[in-house]
Amino acid sequence: MKQVAFIGLGVMGYPMAGHLSKAGYDVVVYNRTYAKAEQWCTEYQGRAERTPKEAAKGCDVVFMCVGNDQDVRSVVYGEQGVLAGLNKGAFLVDHTTASAELARELEQACQKQDIHFLDAPVSGGQAGAENGALTVMVGGAEQHVEAVRPVMEHFSKYIGWQGEVGTGQLAKMVNQICIAGVVQGLAEGMQFIEKSGLDAERVIQAISQGAAGSWQMENRWKTMSEGEYDFGFAVDWMRKDLGLALSEANNNGARLPLTALVDQFYGDVQAMGGNRWDTSSLLTRFIQRDK
């Protein structure tokens, strides 16, 4: 697999495509804003196309990383979509965090053209994408995952096969459910530290070595205490992801009371104008109420 395309050059896709270029692949990129694709080409070896169809032509693998279900459909279907350009036997890999329902829909569309589909949402945020250290949760035929694994390894630290198509998206929902609870707990802990007059650095240094330790604590307590919330994954996107999880829970009977509550808290942050703040901004709710 030497010729690949990357559809979507946002904060995640831009560096992910860059890793593939640096690894020696012939990379074709497409972005809704063509100027962004041109900018990518000034930084990396590759070429830009003006439609998903043209980007996909002749490629062994097409990777996608766009915003939501409708964004995926807009680049996959139609006369200028990815499926109009891919050859039989090619692979379509969707790194977008989307619904499991969409993943199953895309698999059926791909099967009609003898194209192999994988749903493969990622975790690790902008820093993980830039450092080539993402975690990928993949749904699809295991042999297809193994065929594409050597390519994905250039922007990943871990690639975990979950099962049939759709299970990658379901696993990502679990990821976001767990993160939501951890960030809310950290926000409450940081508020408690401040109200108690404790030294935050000393407390965090102590508790991070025990059962309370987490990635969020290690990487976000300091910036939270300083009111800095410009670290990639935005509240708007988290609410989109939690909405997917809550919708799926309605279908499968899972009960997610904490997730539903934290989703509402993120709604409070949005109402404060924090749509583009990162997910650690839950702390701002307490600060706002203290004013």
End-to-end CA distance of the chain: 58
Domains parsed from the chain with CATH numbers? 3-163 (3.40.50.720), 170-290 (1.10.1040.10)
Encoded tokens for 102:
């969409």
Task: Please answer whether residues 194 and 242 qualify as being in contact, where contact means their C-beta atoms are separated by less than 8 angstroms.
Answer: no
- The tens digit of pLDDT for each residue in 5-36 reads 999 999 999 999 999 999 999 999 999 999 99
pTM summary value: 0.94
Q: What CA–CA distance (Å, rounded) separates 189 from 74?
A: 42
Q: What CA–CA distance (Å, rounded) separates 14 from 98?
A: 19
- The tens digit of pLDDT for each residue in 134-192 reads 999 999 999 999 999 999 999 999 999 999 999 999 999 999 999 999 999 999 999 99
Q: What are the residue numbers of the active site?
A: 172
Categorize the per-residue pLDDT at 232 as very low, low, confident or very high, splitting at 50, 70 and 90: confident
Q: With 70 as the cut, is the pLDDT of residue 1 above it?
A: no
